[in-house]
Each structure stands twice: as structure tokens, then as C-alpha cells.
Structure 1
Amino acid sequence: SGAHLNPVVTLALWLDGALEGAQVGVYMLAQLLGAAAGTTTNYIFHKTHYDITEDAASIRGSFCTSPAIKSTWNNFFSELAGAFVLMFVIFYISDGAFEMAGEEVPVGLGSVGALPVGILVWVIGLGLGGTTGYAINPARDLGPRIMHQLLPIKNKMDSGWDYAWIPVIAPLCGSALAYAVKEWLLMTV
């Protein structure tokens, strides 16, 4: 799979022609199930802590994102921008080459490519995390949100379904936009 655990990456790679259409749904389902399994494992390991925690917002916050201040378009743009930056940078540090002005230009960091991506996710969190909790990964938010709804968690609040569309749709839009901008830049250079 190239070790991408994020539907944002899956979508962008499909748009870029690196994945076949049939793979996209399978990858995204696996990413969603992986996030759900991970959060369920975390819940099992920390169940005694969840049982004594009375702050329902903290409980939900350990499962899924929630904005500090609900502002639909601000929250949407924050998630879109974070995913755009993530995918745009990934395009330019990934292995391979781009054709620019008729010449192959090698790019990529090889096996150390995951390190700058991890640092980038941290930087995105520092810059944009305060507004939404920065999902920038639809599976990371939706899978745990579903498990928050399903698990018998003591003292839990609603799972925030009125907000749930933002950390799913906005990052995918940011991913598609990153691909479009990359393609536009390659055509104009």
C-alpha cells in the first residue's frame, strides 16, 4: 500500500494515477477499520480510566476531533488547508521524478521520507490544531467517532455527528485541491 494510512493520501494517489479505482475503496475501508480497531484497543487498555472520568468532552476528545469554537466555514477551511499542505508536501518529497520543461527532475527522500511527513503533521497540528483538533485524516476521525458511538462508555456525551462531516469532507477536498495545484504548477513550469 505504500504505508499510507490516510484517505487523503489514497485519494491524491488515485487522482495522480498511482492507484487503480478498485483499490481506493478497499484502502479507505481498511484505513477506517484500522482506525476503529486502534481506538477500540486504546479503549480496552484504558477502560478503568474511562470509567472514572466524569468529563464527557474529554472522553469524546480522546476518540475524535471537535472544534474549540464551532464555526462551520472556519472549521472546514482549517481542515481543508491542513490536508492541502500535507498532501502538497508529500507530492514533492515522495520518491520519483517530475517532468518539468521536458526534463525528468528527480525528487524524493527515499526511506527517510516518513520523517519529514511526521514533522509536517506536527507542524500542521501546531498551526491549525487549535481550531478543530486537526483530523487531516478522515479515517482517524470517523473510525474512532463510530466506536465512541458504539462502545459502552460510562459518562459519555453524544458523538458529535453534527460536526462529523467536516473532518471527513474537508480533508478530501484539500487532497483533491493539492493534486490540482500540483498538476497546474507542472503544466505552467
Structure 2
Amino acid sequence: MSDMTQIFSEFLGTAMLILLGSGVCAAVNLAKSKAQASGWIVIAAGWATAVTIAVYASSFMGPAHLNPAVTIGMAIAGKFAWNLVFPFIIAQIIGAMVGATLVWLAYLPHWAETKDQGAILGTFATGPAIRNLPANLVTEIIGTFVLVFALLAFGETTFADGTNPMVVGILILAIGLSLGGPTGYAINPARDLGPRLAHQLLPIANKGNSDWGYSLVPIVGPIIGGAVAAGVFNILPL
């Protein structure tokens, strides 16, 4: 595939990821949604299936990273060309903004019915259960380490044709259920930054501030976690 096709696939796949992933957050968080208050299991399952569908929808055109931490980790591990890292990241962030905008449109009447500003922000961006930035950063590092190391390990395994995205979805489900409680498991800088920018810019009824004071945690933590995972992978005696 050409470089432009691969870059477009990152935009499209990340938009799909956020549309479905933030969509399940909207379903659970927003007032008068039929899925309101259905809980963490629904959110974790929704994100897992969102990743699965997004990978299926984009992997025929490119590697379907859909995540700057994965792109950087793959480059560090020698599995991806460095000259495409920055274009991929830009495409991922823009795709995430588009996906979040589509969620806003899909749930348009519900924002005015939702008075909880935290629930509205939580539909777009992650936030900690207990605000402790160093601890929150460690959580994101650990979660993304698991993500990127597992993806690199998957690359050394042969799966039946067409099943890779389902295995990745299981990985996301495991991370969400086991490690998602403290921070909402961004494990993806674009997943948080793109929707947070959309929250800042869109005329969302009843929204509060976009909590930019927390925003570095889901950007820096995943990048560190992905880089460490790639570094560990590189020193294995393969």
C-alpha cells in the first residue's frame, strides 16, 4: 500500500474506534440514554469491540495502529518506518477528533438533558478515579506496556486468517477489566487528546472545562509504556 493509503487508514480506523468507543461512554453516561448507568462491564466490552471493528475496517489498507503509542513502539522495535511516525500520529489525532464529533451528533439531544459536567467530559476524555498524577501516570505506563508488548508478541505468532483483530479485542478487554479502574485506561494518546480537543471546541450543551491539567497523563504515560515495551522486546533473545 502507498504511504498516503496507510495514513488515510489510520485516520479512518481511529475515527471508527472513537465513534464506537466514546459512543459506548455516551450511552452509559448521558441522561435518558437507553443504556444509562449500565456500568463498567459495558464500557470495557464496548471499547474492546470498538477496537476489533476499527482494526477490521482499516487493516486492509495499513497496519491499523490507531494509537501513537503503538506507532512509536513499533518503530522502536524496528517493525515500522520512522518516516511515517509523525504522519500516522497526526492522522490518528484528527481521526479521533472526527470520531468524537460524530458521537456528539449521534447523541445530540442528550447533552442538554445531562447536567453532570463530569459525565459529559467522561464521554470524550479519560479521568482518574483518584486524582494522583504520579500514580495515574504509572497506571497508564503499565497498561500501555501490556498493550504494546502483547501486540509485538502477537506478531511472532501465527493466527488463523482474519482472527487477529479479535485477539486484539480480547487484549483490550483484558486491559480494561483488569487495569482500567484507576484512570479509565486511555493507553492511547490520540484516544484522549482528539476527543478532549473536540470537547473543548464543540458547542456541547452543559459542558464544563476540558481538564487540561490532567491531559498530559494520558499522552505521556502511554508513550512511555509503549517505548519501554518495545525496548524490552528488543532485548529478548528471539
Q: TM-score, normalised by structure 1?
A: 0.89
> Are 2:223 and 1:172 aligned?
yes
Q: CA deviation at 1:52?
A: 1.4
Query: Which residue of the partner structure matches residue 36 of structure 1?
Result: 97
Task: Name the count of aligned residue pairs.
Answer: 176
Larger radius of gyration: 1
Q: Aligned partners of 1:156, 1:80: CA distance in 2, in Å?
A: 29
Q: Which residue of 2 aligns with 1:101?
A: none
Distance 1:181 1:21 in 2: 19
Q: 2:143 aligns with which of 82, 88, 99?
A: 82
CA deviation profile, 1:86-145 (whole Å, cap 9, x unmatched): 111111112xx5xxxxxxxxx232531221211111111111111001100110100000
The residue aligned with 2:158 is: 108
Letter in 2 for 1:32: I
State the distance in 1 between where 2:170 and 2:196 align: 25
| Residues in 2 aligned to 1:151 and 1:16: alpha-carbon distance in whole angstroms | 38
Q: What residue is the counterpart of 2:177 in the other structure?
A: 126
The more displaced of 1-10 and 108-117 is 108-117
Contact 2:66 2:92 in 1 (8 A): yes
Q: Name the SS for the 1:185 alignment partner.
A: coil
Distance between the aligned counterparts of 1:60 and 1:173, measured in 2?
25
Match of 1:136 in 2: 187
Shift of 1:18: 2.6
Task: Specify the alignment match of 2:234 in structure 1.
Answer: 183
Inter-partner Cα distance in structure 2 for 1:163 and 1:60: 12
Structure 1 unmatched ranges of 5 or more: 98-106
State the SS of the aligned residue for 2:207.
coil
- Structure 2 match to 1:12: 73
Contact 1:32–1:140 (8 Å) recurs in 2: yes
Could you tell me whether the CA contact under 8 Å between 2:77 and 2:233 is conserved in 1?
A: no
Gaps of 5+ in 2: 1-61
Matched, 1:49 2:110: yes
Alpha-carbon distance, 1:27 to partner: 0.5
State whether residues 77 and 231 of structure 2, in contact with CA within 8 Å, keep that contact through their aligned partners in structure 1. no
Does the Cα contact within 8 Å between 1:92 and 1:108 map onto a contact in 2?
Answer: no
RMSD after superposition? 1.2
- How much identity, in percent, do the aligned residues show? 42
Using CA pairs under 8 Å that are at least 6 residues apart, name the structure with larger relative contact order, 1 or 2: 1
Give the structure 2 partner of residue 66 of structure 1: 127
TM, length-normalised to structure 2: 0.71
Q: What is the letter of the counterpart of residue 180 of structure 1?
A: G
Q: CA deviation at 1:46?
A: 0.7
Q: Distance in 2 between matches of 1:113 and 1:92?
A: 12
Q: SS in structure 1 opposite 2:214?
A: coil
State the alpha-carbon separation in 1 of the partners of residues 223 and 150 from structure 2. Answer: 15
Structure with the largest fraction of strand: 1
Q: Distance in 1 between matches of 2:162 and 2:67?
A: 19
Secondary structure in 1 matching 2:236: helix
Question: Which secondary structure does the structure 2 equivalent of 1:134 belong to?
Answer: coil
